[in-house]
Structure 1
Amino acid sequence: MTASRKRNAIGTDGGLRARLEAFRRWRMLPRDLAWAQLGYHLHRPFFALPEAPWHRAGTPAASLALVPPDPWPGRAERGLAIVDGSFSFLGRNLDKPAPLWAPLGMETAWLKRLHDFAWLRDLRAAGGDAPRRKARSLVADWVANNQSWSPVAWDPVVTGERLSHWFSQYEFFAASAEVSFRQALLASAGRQARYLTAVLPAGLCGADLITATRGLCTAGLCLPQGTDWLDQGMTLLLRALDDQLLADGGQRERSPARLLSVLRACIDLRAALLAAGQEAPAALSARIEAMVAVLRLLQHGDGGLSLFNGGGEGEDLQIDMILQRGGGKQVQLMRAPDSGFQRMQAGRSLVLVDCGRPPAPGYDGAAHAGTLSFEMSVGRERLIVNCGAQAGSSSWQQAQRSTAAHSTLVLNETNSAALFAGGGLARRAETVTCRRDEDEGAVWLDLSHDGYLPLFGLTHHRRLYLSASGEDLRGEDRLCGETKGRKPLAFAIRFHLHPGVKAMTAQDGRSVVLRLPKGGGWRLRVAGAAAALEPSVYLGVPGQVRRCQQIVLSGITGERDSGASGWNPDDLCVVKWALQRLGNAS
Structure 2
Amino acid sequence: MLNNLRNFYLNSFLYDKKISKHTDLLFRYKPSTYLLSSLIKVKTKKNNIADFSLEEIWNNKKLSEKQFKKLNNFFWIFSLDLKSSSSDVQKVITKWININSKYNSKSWEISVVSKRIISWLSNSKLTYDNGTKEYQKNFDLILQKQILHLLNQVNHSRYYKNKIISISAIILFSLCYSEQTKNLNAGLDLLKKFIKDVFDKYGFPKSRSIKHSIFYLKYLILIREWFKESQNVIPEFIDEYIFYLGQSYSFFWKNINFDPHFNGNNLSNNFEFDQYLKRCGYVFKNQNYENSNYVSLKNKKINLFMDIGPSPEKNFSDEYQAGSLSFEFLSNGKKIFTNAGYYEGTNNQLNELCRSSALQNTLVLDDNSSCKFSKNSKGEYKINTNLKIIQKNIVFEKNYWKINASHDGYLKQYNLIYEREIEYFPENFKLIGTDKIKGKKDLPNLKFDVRFHLDPSSKVMKTQDNKTILIEIGDEGWKFNCNNYEVNIENGLFFNSKSTYVENQNIFISGIINSKNSDIKWELIKI
Counterpart selection for 2:492 from 520, 533, 536:
536
Q: Secondary structure at the match of 1:257?
A: helix
Decide whether the 8 Å contact of 2:308 with 2:389 is kept in 1.
no
Q: How does 1:127-526 map to 2 (within 5 A)?
A: 127=81, 129=83, 142-171=96-125, 175=129, 182-202=136-156, 204=158, 206-299=160-253, 303-321=257-275, 324=278, 325=280, 327-336=282-291, 339-395=292-348, 396-421=350-375, 422-469=380-427, 471-484=429-442, 486-516=443-473, 518-526=474-482
Identity %: 19
Residue by residue over 1:165-212, the C-alpha shift from the partner in whole angstroms, topping out at 9 and shown as x without a partner, is 332333455546666665544433222111111223225474443232
Counterpart selection for 1:70 from 32, 36, 60:
36
Structure 2 distance, partners of 1:407, 1:262, is 28
Decide whether the 8 Å contact of 2:27 with 2:176 is kept in 1.
no
In the superposition, the TM-score normalised over structure 2's length comes to: 0.86
Structure 2 distance, partners of 1:85, 1:426, is 48
Structure 2 distance, partners of 1:81, 1:506, is 61
Decide whether the 8 Å contact of 2:58 with 2:96 is kept in 1.
no
In the superposition, the TM-score normalised over structure 1's length comes to: 0.78
Task: Give the deviation of 1:284 after TM superposition.
Answer: 1.2
Structure 1 distance, partners of 2:360, 2:49, is 36
Q: Secondary structure at the match of 2:523?
A: strand
Q: Secondary structure at the match of 1:545?
A: strand
2:516 maps to which residue? 570
2:483 maps to which residue? 527
Q: How does 1:82-93 map to 2 (within 5 A)?
A: none
Unmatched 5+ stretches in structure 2 = none
Structure 1 distance, partners of 2:447, 2:92, is 56
Q: Secondary structure at the match of 2:482?
A: strand
Task: Give the deviation of 1:157 after TM superposition.
Answer: 3.7
Task: Give the deviation of 1:268 after TM superposition.
Answer: 0.2
Q: What code does the residue aligned with 2:286 have?
A: V
Residue by residue over 1:419-444, the C-alpha shift from the partner in whole angstroms, topping out at 9 and shown as x without a partner, is 12223211111344321122335321
More displaced, 438-447 or 149-158? 149-158
Task: Give the deviation of 1:448 after TM superposition.
Answer: 0.8
**Residues 171 and 80 of structure 1: CA distance in aligned 2, closer, same or farther (over 3 Å):** closer
Task: Give the deviation of 1:129 after TM superposition.
Answer: 4.7
**Residues 455 and 200 of structure 1: CA distance in aligned 2, closer, same or farther (over 3 Å):** same
**Residues 42 and 343 of structure 1: CA distance in aligned 2, closer, same or farther (over 3 Å):** farther
Structure 2 distance, partners of 1:493, 1:142, is 56
Task: Give the deviation of 1:243 after TM superposition.
Answer: 3.6
More displaced, 371-380 or 300-309? 300-309
Residue by residue over 1:295-320, the C-alpha shift from the partner in whole angstroms, topping out at 9 and shown as x without a partner, is 22223877343222214221221342
Counterpart selection for 2:63 from 66, 80, 103:
103
**Residues 214 and 463 of structure 1: CA distance in aligned 2, closer, same or farther (over 3 Å):** same
2:10 maps to which residue? 47
Structure 2 distance, partners of 1:350, 1:432, is 25
Q: What code does the residue aligned with 2:372 have?
A: A
1:92 maps to which residue? none
Task: Give the deviation of 1:118 after TM superposition.
Answer: 4.3
Counterpart selection for 1:579 from 496, 514, 524:
524
Q: What code does the residue aligned with 1:347 have?
A: K
Task: Give the deviation of 1:213 after TM superposition.
Answer: 1.4
Structure 2 distance, partners of 1:490, 1:251, is 35
Decide whether the 8 Å contact of 1:349 with 1:470 is kept in 2.
no
2:509 maps to which residue? 553
Structure 2 distance, partners of 1:528, 1:81, is 67
**Residues 165 and 494 of structure 1: CA distance in aligned 2, closer, same or farther (over 3 Å):** farther
Structure 1 distance, partners of 2:476, 2:157, is 50
Task: Give the deviation of 1:254 after TM superposition.
Answer: 0.5
Decide whether the 8 Å contact of 2:250 with 2:285 is kept in 1.
no
Q: Secondary structure at the match of 2:500?
A: coil
Task: Give the deviation of 1:394 after TM superposition.
Answer: 3.0
Q: What code does the residue aligned with 1:67 have?
A: P
**Residues 172 and 81 of structure 1: CA distance in aligned 2, closer, same or farther (over 3 Å):** closer
Q: Secondary structure at the match of 1:299?
A: helix
**Residues 320 and 499 of structure 1: CA distance in aligned 2, closer, same or farther (over 3 Å):** farther
Residue by residue over 1:394-451, the C-alpha shift from the partner in whole angstroms, topping out at 9 and shown as x without a partner, is 3322112121221211111112111122232111113443211223353211111111
Task: Give the deviation of 1:259 after TM superposition.
Answer: 0.7
**Residues 238 and 440 of structure 1: CA distance in aligned 2, closer, same or farther (over 3 Å):** same
Decide whether the 8 Å contact of 2:49 with 2:84 is kept in 1.
no
**Residues 209 and 65 of structure 1: CA distance in aligned 2, closer, same or farther (over 3 Å):** same
> What value does the CA root-mean-square deviation take over the aligned residues?
3.4
Decide whether the 8 Å contact of 1:536 with 1:547 is kept in 2.
yes
Q: Secondary structure at the match of 1:51?
A: helix
Decide whether the 8 Å contact of 1:293 with 1:332 is kept in 2.
no
Decide whether the 8 Å contact of 1:220 with 1:229 is kept in 2.
yes
